[in-house]
Amino acid sequence: MEPKKVAIIGAGVSGLAACKFTLSKGFIPIVFEARGAIGGVWTETLQTTALQTPKDMYRFSDFPWPKSVTEEFPKYNQVLDYLKSYADHFGLMKHIRFNTRVLSIDYEGCSDEELDGWNLWGGSGEAFGDRRKWRLNVVDAHTNDPIEEVVVDFVILCIGRFSDVPNIPEFPPNGGPEAFKSGKVLHSLQYSAMDFDSASKLIKNKQVTVVGFQKSALDLAMECANTNGPKNPCTVLYKTAHWNLPDNHPWGIPLSFLYMNRFAELLIHKPGENFILYLLAVLLSPIRWFFAKIVETHAKKKHKLAKYGMIPTHSFLQDISSCQLASLPEKFYEKVDEGSIILKKSPNFMFCEEGITIQGQTKPIHSDLVILATGFRGDQKLKQIFTSATHRNRMTFRDAVNPLYRQCIHPRIPQLAVVGFTESPSNMFTSEIRCRWVAEFLAGTFKLPSIKEMEKDIANWEKILKHYSGPFSKRACFATLHIWYNDQLCNDMGWNPKRKKGFFANLFVPFSPLDYASP
């Protein structure tokens, strides 16, 4: 029988892993990449961008970083070199079609009525369906000219959530960027796409306002501060202060020992937990509070947060549970002290002719350039790629955190998986094991449960994620439940979820990609 064809959309971290593991199972992967190179978000970034995760956690399980990379947090170009070496080593490049964009995908061979009548995913709980295929509309990424229509047996969407579709805040009438007559408005997506020289010239000798307080906003502010100094200070306009870590060793304790082992997961509630685990999470809640205070007091002391009025009103647990952690650039608050960076908090803002006006301040913030580091709408990318209005509606998140079973299968969209959308402490770590799970599913190692069971599991995860992440739950992050999630994947694949030798090692030692190098 002819091998099944699997379309993989995107050649970033998730797309490369998906290609490798589907190839290892005897399928024919076809990777579509709109850019001219692999790497996803790493191909268009700021010159100062580096990993937020230590490289021992940000790696593939079976492919080490080269010995020449000695930094704990490699820079963007080192990450790209690592990904290129991975692709070359496993022979993935020949399966990638560069500069090709998939405009839309259409499911054929089954009506909406049939789909609605199924109790099992795809009618059987298996990966493939008889005579049912996906048809892909593929165009040249530069000219938008049609290239071909490709028909495949399965689709893996690896399009990520931090690119392509910017999140633009809503403004009152006549208060949007069109009201800003004396300068220019960009999203960080546009700024990151510029070459480094052009980006540097754009901000030089300008009054720049950066909107946001996550990693891109912080790096942008530092670039502006280093370029212009206090003569033309950069204003950082933010809505919420977060627990930005000074390092990964609060009071000398590795953060991974507080939040990346099984004991740490005993302190919090888990989706589908039994009564004993529920009771343990209740009884051990004082330790959970204590761990958060260890990190918070360390950050307050090292960054002198009280001095700058930057102490968050929520707990560190809420930030790590929603993947809101961002390491501050080195000497960030020194730039605040010298006047090169001005911090301004406001729940909302609007544009005016000279720049920006904020609540409680009559005088506008004069700006020559405003950069919106306000995130992305990855959910829109997932929705828009479907031709079918039914499928688009099913992939509309509304108030849901992430309507996907095992964080990658929609119960009512067959022969399709999504990889790389849900965040974790290390997205590469998570994407790799998820791609392994998808490949094992494609190979028939296991079947999916009923649609009702999958929807119940999704609801359980959503309840827990909302409980610990609060208003930030939309980020769909499971940082504090990483091992619990991996255990579920291991059980599905028939692996022993206890990945370490010995009771105490399994309970207290942090888990890393190396623990999942083999079944």
For range 292-308, the mean pLDDT: 95
- Return the bridge partners of 120, or none: 450
Mean pLDDT over each residue of the chain, to the nearest integer = 93
Beta strands in 153-238 (DSSP E): 154-157, 184-187, 208-211, 234-238
- Return the bridge partners of 108, or none: 133
Would you say residue 1 has pLDDT above 80?
A: no
Q: For position 2, what pLDDT does the model report?
A: 86
CATH topology classification for 166-242+326-374: FAD/NAD(P)-binding domain (3.50.50)
Least confident residue range of 19-28, 402-411, 417-426: 417-426
pLDDT tens track for 498-517:
999 999 999 999 999 999 99
One-letter amino acid for residue 138 of the chain: V
pLDDT tens track for 132-172:
999 999 999 999 999 988 999 999 999 988 888 899 999 98
For range 278-287, the mean pLDDT: 96
pLDDT tens track for 189-213:
999 999 999 999 999 999 999 999 9
pLDDT tens track for 222-257:
999 999 999 999 999 999 999 998 888 999 999 999
Ramachandran angles phi, psi of 236, nearest 5°:
-105, 115
Would you say residue 347 has pLDDT above 90?
A: no
Would you say residue 398 has pLDDT above 80?
A: no
- What is the spatial distance between Cα 135 and Cα 142, in angstroms, rounded to a whole number? 21
- What is the spatial distance between Cα 310 and Cα 304, in angstroms, rounded to a whole number? 9
pLDDT tens track for 96-140:
999 999 999 999 988 888 888 899 999 999 999 888 999 999 999
Virtual CA dihedral for 414, 417, 421, 426, nearest 10 degrees?
Answer: 150
Q: For position 367, what pLDDT does the model report?
A: 94
- What is the spatial distance between Cα 379 and Cα 20, in angstroms, rounded to a whole number? 26
Going by the DSSP 8-state scheme, the letter that residue 444 receives in this structure is T
Q: For position 152, what pLDDT does the model report?
A: 97
Which pLDDT band, with edges at 50, 70 and 90, does 362 fall under?
confident
Q: For position 204, what pLDDT does the model report?
A: 95
% of the chain exceeding 70 in pLDDT = 99
Which pLDDT band, with edges at 50, 70 and 90, does 414 fall under?
very high
- 231 class by beta-carbon count within 10 Å (0-12 exposed, 13-18 middle, 19+ buried): exposed
Torsion sign across C-alpha atoms 261, 317, 302, 248: positive
Provide the angle, in degrees to the nearest 10, between the axes of the packed helices 275-283 and 285-303. 50
- Return the bridge partners of 96, or none: 31
Most confident of the ranges 50-54, 103-107, 145-149, 175-179: 103-107
Beta strands in 110-174 (DSSP E): 133-140, 146-152, 154-157
CB of 215 within 8 A of CB of 236? no
Q: For position 115, what pLDDT does the model report?
A: 86
CATH annotation of 5-164+377-448: 3.50.50.60
Least confident residue range of 14-18, 162-166, 319-323, 464-468: 162-166
Segments making up each domain of the chain, as ranges: 5-164+377-448, 166-242+326-374, 253-324+463-518
Q: For position 473, what pLDDT does the model report?
A: 76
Residues 6+ apart with CB under 8 A from 307: none
Would you say residue 425 has pLDDT above 80?
A: no
Would you say residue 476 has pLDDT above 90?
A: no
Q: For position 361, what pLDDT does the model report?
A: 83
For range 361-367, the mean pLDDT: 89
Torsion sign across C-alpha atoms 129, 131, 132, 135: positive
- What is the spatial distance between Cα 454 and Cα 412, in angstroms, rounded to a whole number? 10
HEC assignment per residue over 208-228: EEEECCCHHHHHHHHHHHHHH
Shared fold status for 5-164+377-448 and 166-242+326-374: yes
One-letter amino acid for residue 155 of the chain: V
* pTM attached to this predicted model: 0.94
